[in-house]
Copies of this chain bind each other. A is one copy, B any other.
Amino acid sequence: MFMQTLPGFRDFLPEDCAKRNYIFARWREVARRYGFVEWEGPLLETVELYKKKSGAEIVDQLFNFTDKGEREVALRPELTPTLARVVAAHEREFKKPLKWFSIGQFFRYEKQQRGRLREHFQLNCDIIGEAALAADIELVALCIDVLRAFGFTERDFVVRISDREFWTDFLRERNVPADRWDEFLQAIDKFGREPREKTAEKLDNLAEPVFATLKSGGKSEKLGKLVDALRGRGLADFVAIDIGIVRGLAYYTGIVFEVFDRAGKFRAIAGGGRYDNLIAQLSDGAVSLPALGFAMGDVVLGELINEIPHAREAMQEAITIDRKIDIYVVIAKEERRADALTQVQQLRDLGYGVDYPLTPTKIPKQFQTAEDLGATIAILYGDEWPQVKIKNMATAQQELLPHDRLLAHLQALPSLSS
């Protein structure tokens, strides 16, 4: 009991943490390429913020509680309400459109299942203040490029794109009152995931035309333009129009998309879309800005990286290189420890990663540690003093050098770049 995490939570041992950081680094790097800037919100917010967006049912899925100041608070289940809050409070300080991304942890009290824990990390990318389709295109391209950065190709994943407006137009033409649209959209969203009869029952006399549309595929000029634009960027093979994608959340207003592995083995890797009314809704009309965004979690993404050999190998290679140490200092004579440590300090000041044995250790064991740590070179302090012996760990070549020329020598080595 003591030894374990709470159910659905993870410890990140060094290997796990390196994988997590690998994911974060790629998320951050590609967002930066797209000119997105990073921000972050608090992990705890008022329950009210989530109720306002998603209704009272959301509370069943929250880690919520009453704090010692009698506030109803919750560990954040998603970032969008916080984003709306922050943008509404600060929008005048920034030129539009905002292109913001964030990497952080989120929490849901849910039944545990594959690819779904009670916490996960998410990349959130949002564009605020731009109504044009160009923003949707930019966002989908970013989502694709984030996944390409892990080595995934168009054979590994697909972005299924749809348009909520296609369905709201469809319902309007059939004189369905606007206050019942959500109910129909939810039913269409569940098509294929629940028995056909159940969906048919919910859709009532619209079941036939909906099923026919889902079968034939809907026509949407907007979706055509979006795919054409992605084709111009060489990204068309990564997307498919799938009018059956509606997304469960009520607040989407236009283009929506979900990303799946091609083999159909995992849950959605990412999802998002346009939510033009949400900021106004959450700020009680104080601020109204068109907006769109997507989120990508680390858990399903991690499973897909493990599944696809070239992505897994790219990750392993990156984290192996990242964890290598530059220099291992071998203390062959304890009389030389103080001299060695003076140089350890100088080497670290130059930015090298340097390790050494804290206590007297047999020389072969020290070299073994140097190898285990992936040291590029070992420097031996022993009988040769005031010379030191430098060993290239890859080639096993050794050379002797006066200790006072060591720093200059290392800074000229191409294999060591700090």
Contacts and interface: CB of A to CB of B under 8 A. Distances in A.
Interface in A26-57: 29, 32-35, 37-46, 48-49, 52
Contact of A353 (B5, B33, B282, B355): B33
A2 B283 contact: yes
- Scoring A42, A323, A344 by chain B CB atoms within 10 A of each residue's CB, the highest score goes to A42
Interface string A1-24: 011111101111110111011000
B232 A109 contact: no
Q: Chain A at the B interface: mostly helix, strand, loop or mixed? A: mixed
Given A9-B44, A345-B141, A358-B130, A85 B3 contact: yes
Given A37-B323, A233-B342, A358 B97 contact: yes
Contact of A40 (B3, B17, B344): B17
Given A141-B345, A282-B2, A35 B355 contact: yes
Nearest to A49: B2
Contact of A352 (B33, B37, B119): B33
A374 to B, nearest CB: 11
Interface string A350-377: 0111110011000000000100110000
A212 interface: no
Interface in A56-112: 63, 65-69, 71, 73, 75, 82, 85-86, 88-90, 93, 95, 97, 99-100, 105, 107, 109
Nearest to A235: B345
A43 B13 contact: no
